[in-house]
Amino acid sequence: MRALVTGGAGYIGSHLVLALLEAGHQVVVVDDLSNGHLEALRRVEELAGRPCSLIVGDVADRPKMVSALHGVDVVLHLAAFKAVGESMTNPERYFRNNTGGLASLLESMVDAGVSRLIYSSTAAVYGEGSLMPLTEQTPPGPDSPYGASKLLGEQMLQWMCRCRDLRAVSLRYFNPVGAHPSGRIGEHARTPSNLVPRVLMALTGDVPALTVFGADYDTPDGTCLRDYIHIQDLVAAHMVAIGLLERPGYHLYNVGTGRPSSVREVLDAARRVTGRAVPFVDGPRRAGDVPETVADPSRFRQDLGFEAKRDLDEMVRDAWRWWTQNPGGYPE
């Protein structure tokens, strides 16, 4: 099979490209390198022992995309901006790149006669105040332009599946963490806002202490609960979802574990894995944080037998290996 991965030089994309190469597929990556790394793809090729093709460019570049799509069986569309906070101050940038980028990609796919697509969506399409766990039937209600830009993408896909011969799967990722077990590829987060990289920074002394944003939530230990999923499980979900494209129409799945972890539980896992206590201070709640986000992953399990296997310790262990072997991330 020939797969085209947009955003393949990014965090999730690089792990996905590796899995596709390891499964024997031909892979074309399109990435404008706005947040991707050539070094990530170099390492992916080294790990796989096989090359992929890289086209440096924007998914909205129609002539370039139509030519890149030649002979492609399936598109995995990951290219997007993903910073929720930045989307509040620069929403038009998110609508242009995330929603507009997908609209343009769909036009190029129609022109090139490519009709199968996996789409990276997000738990950010759900809104604050939703009942937990979140099922695919939970009414969406994004709290940010980022979430809205992704939800609009899902809606476009639904219509394209109805009106055109498109087959598409939207995967709503919960909180991807961890890294490839080799420690060679991982998330290059320079100013991370996510918990696990911030925990690692506190452990390596890059910051004096981790601030726990709110310890007075109505949760068992007072800290926020999130549904973390190991990047390798997330990648495995894509490999399963590709099989779904044998069936016509539009498909939508949550991709999480269904087992939420609190901030304190992440700190405990970090202590178990590294043998060191994470220096932390309890701080005030952070604007926009909700007490709990957890997926109901049962639809994916029932339809396709997919279940995330890796536990929190493995997520933190693999993230720690990547972090300590690559201080500062990929070399620029």
| 126, 173, 213, 322: residue in contact with ligand NAD (rule CB under 6 A) | 173
When the beta carbons of 215 and 231 are compared against ligand NAD, the nearer one is 231
- Positions annotated as catalytic residues are 146
Q: Which stretch binds ligand NAD (CB under 6 A): 29-37, 106-114, 220-228, 308-316?
A: 29-37
When the beta carbons of 99 and 215 are compared against ligand NAD, the nearer one is 99
Considering the rule CB under 6 A, would residue 34 count as an interface residue with ligand NAD? yes
Closest separation between CB of residue 195 and ligand NAD, Å?
11
Considering the rule CB under 6 A, would residue 74 count as an interface residue with ligand NAD? no
When the beta carbons of 10 and 214 are compared against ligand NAD, the nearer one is 10
Considering the rule CB under 6 A, would residue 86 count as an interface residue with ligand NAD? no
3-state secondary structure labels for all residues of the chain: CEEEEECCCCHHHHHHHHHHHHCCCEEEEEECCCCCCHHHHHHHHHHHCCCCEEEECCCCCHHHHHHHCCCCCEEEECCCCCCHHHHHHCHHHHHHHHHHHHHHHHHHHHHHCCCEEEEEEEHHHECCCCCCCECCCCCECCCCHHHHHHHHHHHHHHHHHHHCCCEEEEEEECEEECCCCCCCCCCCCCCCCCHHHHHHHHHHCCCCCEEEECCCCCCCCCCCEECEEEHHHHHHHHHHHHHHCCCCCEEEEEECCCCCEEHHHHHHHHHHHHCCCCCEEEECCCCCCCCECCECCHHHHHHHCCCCCCCHHHHHHHHHHHHHHCCCCCCC
Closest separation between CB of residue 9 and ligand NAD, Å?
4
| 5, 80, 235, 295: residue in contact with ligand NAD (rule CB under 6 A) | 80
Q: Note the residues at the interface with ligand NAD (CB under 6 A).
A: 6-7, 9-13, 30-36, 58-60, 78-80, 82, 97, 101, 120, 122, 173, 176
